[in-house]
Structure 1
Amino acid sequence: MRRTVFIATIAGLLTLGAVAGCGGGTAGQPAVAASLPSADPSSGPPSSADAPPADGDAGVVVDASVVEQSALRPMQVETDDFWEEIAGLAQIPVKVNAPMRFLRGAETFECGGVELSAADRYGPTFCAPEDTIVVSETFMDAIGASMAMRADGTFADPAAEVGLYFLLAHQWGHNILEEMIAAKGADVTLIPSNQLEVTADCFAGLAIAGVPRVFTEKGPAAVLSLVSTYGERFTGIAGSPATREKAIAAGLAPSYDDRAGLAAGVTGCLTGQAPALATALGVG
């Protein structure tokens, strides 16, 4: 993918060694993106406002396969492209591609002694030992049954779209942290887990601000809207709702067109949300 020329430096690199849990608007952006847009950041997000779906704005029940193919897989591509670009701009030599495994039927996935299954009701889960984001069929069925999507696979509910994207982008944030920690060889034993969580929240905010998909709802409350509904597989370590909203807002601060600001936001997320981690990484 094409990248802008700005180079922002980050001093530290690092990786988390266990299963990761958890779980405004941009001036000049067009209104809605109904299909996978171009990832070229220089052109800005495309608009499909002049081509409304044939079935109107009503949400319907859709199959898990529609959620996977029309929502989660395009989101995966957009997020991978975003972090490839931003890691390059920020000079973070990490492998940003986190494979996704979609579990169906009786399928299970072994994750460092924890068995993840297609029946899990939780949202996407980053399995650090296998460097994989795992998504269950039960979760996709629940999204499909919520009538947040149209029959053509686009979203009828803007809050649900950004909420679903956050659940994925947060796990991707854990992947980036995992890679940085490993590359630096930093000891994070004494780093408070809630600092890791809110940093992943902040990284998710950066992705929401920086991917080509245009979210018409970006408020932190909308971003977190599905967390309470679907929960997070590993609980008890996330920050308070107010703390998480603040971290997300920090990530959302740069505009889509400010690619340098998005790259610098990686350091900002670390120093602002996880000072102990930033020190361990030599960032700041």
Structure 2
Amino acid sequence: MTTTQPTGRVLSPVRASFLVFDSFWTWYRRNWRASVTSSFLQPALYLVALGFGFGSQVRPGPATLGLPYVQYLAPALLVASMMQIAAFESTYPVLSAFRWQQTYLAITATPITPGQVLGGQLTWIAARLGFSAVAFALIAAVLGAVTGPAIVWSVFIAVLTGMAVSAPIVAYSATLESEGQGFNVLFRFIIIPMTLFAGTFFPVEQLPGWVRPLVWITPLWHGTELSRDLTFGTVEPLQALGHLTYLVALLALGAYLARRVFNRKLAV
């Protein structure tokens, strides 16, 4: 379906979503300094503190796949960091665009549809993750925390994992009328436990047996396993396909749910 502007020009869905994306990009170019800490410095400090600080007490062995701990950690921490950034970008900014600044309402007063607004929003979040993931990979390479150029694959997996987390959260954020306890519960009981126990810092085999099935259903575990396998060259095709299918399916489901909520709340 195409959108017709008042001038009579036809605006394609791709073009409309790009215009939404461009509005976020324009804002970011003027305010990027506000996100330097969360996007670049914080992940790098985690890598230094845990990889070199705590990691100096961890000897290479089966648990670290025979690698120095910082190299074992880097591809997984890349994915976990992008998941955290994705979660933040999908909460307060989305609620603000609905309730406080009402940016979405202003956009849909033009010929741009709610679905196209969502497309632009998700595209922007993916771009933000891409910028941050590349910066993290470069910093890790400078610090000697990568094993080779295969870290590029981790960048793609980190963005995909972040989007698999982002889309359902965008759908959830769109349903809220105020932040209340909604975001606190999300971060305290979902995002932080995933970061700690989904295999980022140690193999999930070290967890009690009854906990592991809970870990296996988290997108971060799938992203972490896939990132490490691709980086270290230990990929098994069927397992990799399973991880990819899970992440893509979660992204698609989240986008579908978000589209329904956006249509309901923004339709005139």
Higher helix proportion: 2
TM-score (norm 1): 0.30
Query: How high is the TM-score relative to the length of structure 2?
Result: 0.32
Larger radius of gyration: 2
- Normalized per residue, the structure richer in strand is 1
More contact order relative to length (CA 8 Å, sep ≥ 6): 1
